[in-house]
Structure formats: C-alpha cells, structure tokens
Copies of this chain bind each other. A is one copy, B any other.
Amino acid sequence: MTSTLSETETYSLLSLSLACFGVLFNTFWDGSGEPLIASIAFSSLAFAFCYALIRWLGNAFIRRGFKGKDLCKHKQTEIPETMGAICAMVYLFTLITFIPWPFYKDIVVATSGGGNRDVMKELEEVETGRFLHRFPHNKLASYLSALLSLQTVVLLGIGDDLFDIRWRHKVLIPAFAAIPMLIVYFVDFGVTQMVVPIPLRPYLGELFDLGWLYYVYMAMLSIFSSNSINILAGINGIEVAQSLVIAVLIVINDVLYLSPFTTYPHPATDSHLFSLYLLLPFIGVSLALLKHNWYPAKVFVGDTYCYFAGMVFAVDGILGHFSKTLILLLLPQGFNFVYSAPQLFHIVPCPRHRLPHFNARTGLLECSRVEFKRPLARPIAECLKLLHRLRMLDVETDAKGQVTSSSNLTLINLWLVWFGPMREDRLALGLLAFQTAIGFLGLLVRHRMALLIFTADNW
C-alpha cells in the first residue's frame, strides 16, 4: 500500500472537509443549528480523517509488527493489521468534539469559587428553526459513559492485538468494557423493569423488575454483540461491511421515530436521536476502513475493530433502550455462533483456521473441510449426517458409512456449500445481502408483529 494520498484523493477529502467545517461553523455560531446536521458533518469529517490516517499510518503499523498475510490470494504480501484502532480513535475524537452541539450549555451566572454553581440560569427553550430539540443535561452522563465504555474496549482490544490474550479471557473483554456504562446506568437511571409480553402477564404482572439480572443481561449483550461479529470474519471486508449493514439498519429504525410523520415529541425521540449521534460517525469511519479493507484488501481490521463495532451496537442498544431490536438485527451473527458452537466448544474437532480454502488454480474460494482422523462418536456422526441431509453441511463418508470429513461449521463455509465456489468479493456480497434481508425482516417483525405480544408498539 502506498502511504500517500493520490492528488484526486487529496482534493476530494480536502473539499469534503472544508464543506463540513463550513456547516459546523454555521450550526455552532448562529445558535439555531441542528445537532443532527452537525452530526452528519462530523461523520463526513470522520470519514475524511480516517481515510487519510489509514493511508499515512499503515507502514508505521507494519514496522511495529502489526502485519499479516492474506491467505486467500495468489501473492501473499504483508499488509498492515489492527487498522480498526485508527478508526476507533477517530470515532472517539469525533464524538468528544461533537458534545457542544447536542447538549445545552449550562449557564453558571455566579460562583463562590471552588466549582460551585451558586446561581444557575435555565436556558429557555428558544429553539427557533430547529426540528429536533437538544438534550437536557442529565443525558450528558450517559453519553460520557458510552464514550468511556467504547474507549475501554479499544484499549483492551489493542491489548489483545498486542499480547494475543487467550481465547477464554478475550471473550470477556466486552463485559469489562461495559462496566463504565453499567455503573453510570446504575447511578444515573437505574430502571431495571421490563415490559412483560402479554402471554406471560398472568404470571409476572405488567412490569417485571429484573433487578441485578438486568445488569447481567446488558453485560451479556455486550459480549454477544462483540464476539458474534468477531467470529463471522475471515474474508476481505466482511467484518466492516456486516457492521455497516447493521448500523444502517439501526439508523433506518431510528429515522422511523424522527420522521415528520411521527408525532413529536415522541417518548422515544431522545433515545433514537442519541442512537443516531453514536451511529452516524461510526458509519463514517467504517466506510473509510471498508474502502481499504474490501477485496482485494490493502489493510486488515484486527480484533480491535470487531470489539469496537460490537460495543458501539451494544452501547447504542442499551442506552437507546432498544436492545431487543438489536438482537433481531444480529440474528445472522447469532445463527453463525450457534452453528459454530460444536467446533468452538470442541464437540467436533476444530482446525486452527476455518477460513474458506483458496484454490490457486481457479482463483475461487471453496469451503474448507475438517478431516476426522479418529471415528466420531455415533450420536455426533448421526447429527452431522442429518445436517447433511438438510443441506446444512457437507459431509463425506467412507464405504462403511463412517463420517470421514465435513465442511467447517461457519456461515461462510455454509454459503459456499450452498452456492459452490466463488470469488472472495462475491462471497462477501452474498453474505451481506443475506444480512440485509434478515435485518429488514427483523424490523418488520419489530414494528408489525410486536403488537401480538405487547400492548403497544412504542413507535
């Protein structure tokens, strides 16, 4: 990868940045500025910075040992690894500088020193020309706790990329990173009740207080969201592109609550604005990374990116109060996890790499296989054969009916079992189309069928 920008790139990024600075300047100084417009400008700026920084810093990363070889290519040159860290840093920096836009300025009129707010002026809501209101001050703590959690996941993710932490420890990284958010949630909001679905109401009542289990649920969601993205990985662009699809789907869901057709102010307006502010810059930096990570990849994203992306979704879903919708959007990742589980937990032998196999003659990817040197236990062998008959696996048997090999248990290999060998980018596109379709189905279920089990769709 060259470490400089071409002339076209330089001028495009520069003009984009200048335009964004103009917009920001306007929205800031006339005071009537829309935080949402500022957020879009910030996201575009984040795209430009991230794009340039990936190019400029790639070689420094290689020199410091953050590098890897692409096993699915004819020519295996070394390319920079862990570029997700750059993404994440730009993202965090963007969210921090964005703070003055969505939050009111608390005006302290008099102080006796020592940080006291002796006389405070409430800002009257003179919000002329504004579609959407600003946040009250008590949301600032949530926002900052979200930033802290994201920054923690980046620190721990870099630690993982540096020290290659053991599998059973690294699974817990997102739970550690969620702690700042959970603690501030506890001090600041602390609502742990959930609405009970209609069929269960006779037993549990209308609201059920989960108590500390609610915090366990939130920690589990962080673990699931980050790690499920981390294991649906291995071909160029798939980590970033799937995250982008999920982010865009959440944005669509958010916009449903903010569109002119929705009553305003809606009880969930704030939550979904909050969600947008977190996601738009994420889309910005991810696009910049995807541009370099898409087939043929010029950089790798590293575990840092997967943790970071998963944590953005978890934070967004938890503080935006739509964690169940988030789970619907992560269904393909969930399926991949459940499907992989027999290998992850070593019920079926698991080779070191489960990437698709690159056929150097055709230039296409084929599903990779695991050979069973020792015969499998009978019930497991029968399960594999059943999956084969359901077209959910490709199993080979010898003359005696013994299972000798099967395709590896990942969604990526399953796709190749279904549709045959194909080029790496076609494979990624297929999986993304699948993710998108499931996502739209999820949103449909969320908004059309939720009424079957809840009394009101909060849209």
Please, what's the 1-or-0 string for A314-342, where 1 marks a CB less than 8 Å from any CB in chain B?
Answer: 00000111000000000000000000000
A116 at interface by CB-CB < 8 Å: yes
Q: Does the CB pair B191–A114 fall under 8 Å?
A: no
Q: Does the CB pair A186–B320 fall under 8 Å?
A: no
Given known A-B contacts A268-B113, A458-B113, A155 and B319 have beta carbons under 8 A apart: no
**Distance between A55 CB and nearest chain B CB, rounded to angstroms:** 16
Q: Which residues of B contact A319 (CB under 8 A)?
A: 115
Q: Does the CB pair A151–B140 fall under 8 Å?
A: no
A201 at interface by CB-CB < 8 Å: no
Number of residues on chain A facing chain B (CB within 8 A)? 63
Question: How many copies of this chain does one complex carry?
Answer: 2
Please, what's the 1-or-0 string for A127-145, where 1 marks a CB less than 8 Å from any CB in chain B?
Answer: 0000000000111111011
Q: Does the CB pair B114–A458 fall under 8 Å?
A: yes
A2 at interface by CB-CB < 8 Å: no
A391 at interface by CB-CB < 8 Å: no
Please, what's the 1-or-0 string for A110-127, where 1 marks a CB less than 8 Å from any CB in chain B?
Answer: 011111110000000000
Q: Which residues of B contact A108 (CB under 8 A)?
A: 189-191
Stretch from A94-102, A215-223, A346-354, A406-414 contacting the other chain:
A94-102
Q: Does the CB pair A64–B163 fall under 8 Å?
A: yes
A180 at interface by CB-CB < 8 Å: yes
User: Which A43-96 residues have a C-beta within 8 angstroms of B?
Assistant: 60, 64-65, 89, 92-93, 96
Please, what's the 1-or-0 string for A186-197, where 1 marks a CB less than 8 Å from any CB in chain B?
Answer: 111111000100
Q: Which residues of B contact A179 (CB under 8 A)?
A: 93, 96-97
Taking each of A139, A141, A155, which has the highest tally of chain B beta carbons within 10 Å of its own beta carbon? A141
Please, what's the 1-or-0 string for A145-173, where 1 marks a CB less than 8 Å from any CB in chain B?
Answer: 10110011011001000110000000000
Q: Does the CB pair B180–A114 fall under 8 Å?
A: no
A420 to B270 alpha-carbon distance, docked (Å): 68
Taking each of A99, A103, A272, A274, which has the highest tally of chain B beta carbons within 10 Å of its own beta carbon? A99
**Distance between A205 CB and nearest chain B CB, rounded to angstroms:** 15
A105 at interface by CB-CB < 8 Å: yes
The listed residue (B114, B144, B154, B269) touching A144 by CB distance below 8 A is B144
Closest to A193 in B: B111
A187 to B269 alpha-carbon distance, docked (Å): 22
Q: Does the CB pair B189–A117 fall under 8 Å?
A: yes
Closest to A163 in B: B60
**Distance between A95 CB and nearest chain B CB, rounded to angstroms:** 10
Closest to A102 in B: B187
A183 at interface by CB-CB < 8 Å: yes
A142 to B141 alpha-carbon distance, docked (Å): 9
Q: Does the CB pair A270–B187 fall under 8 Å?
A: no
**Distance between A38 CB and nearest chain B CB, rounded to angstroms:** 14
Q: Does the CB pair A183–B271 fall under 8 Å?
A: no
Closest to A147 in B: B148
A266 to B116 alpha-carbon distance, docked (Å): 11
A206 at interface by CB-CB < 8 Å: no
**Distance between A287 CB and nearest chain B CB, rounded to angstroms:** 23
**Distance between A355 CB and nearest chain B CB, rounded to angstroms:** 25
Q: Does the CB pair A115–B187 fall under 8 Å?
A: no
Given known A-B contacts A99-B183, A107-B190, A271 and B114 have beta carbons under 8 A apart: yes
A382 at interface by CB-CB < 8 Å: no
The listed residue (B97, B162, B184) touching A99 by CB distance below 8 A is B184
Taking each of A89, A104, A116, which has the highest tally of chain B beta carbons within 10 Å of its own beta carbon? A116
Q: Which residues of B contact A65 (CB under 8 A)?
A: 65
**Can you list 24 residue pairs at the A/B interface with Cβ under 8 Å?**
A60-B163, A65-B65, A96-B180, A100-B187, A104-B187, A106-B188, A106-B189, A108-B190, A108-B191, A111-B191, A113-B458, A114-B269, A114-B321, A114-B458, A115-B189, A115-B271, A115-B319, A140-B141, A140-B184, A144-B144, A147-B148, A148-B151, A151-B152, A158-B158
> Apart from A89-B155, A137-B138, what 6 extra A-B contacts exist at CB < 8 Å?
A100-B186, A113-B458, A116-B270, A148-B148, A151-B155, A158-B158
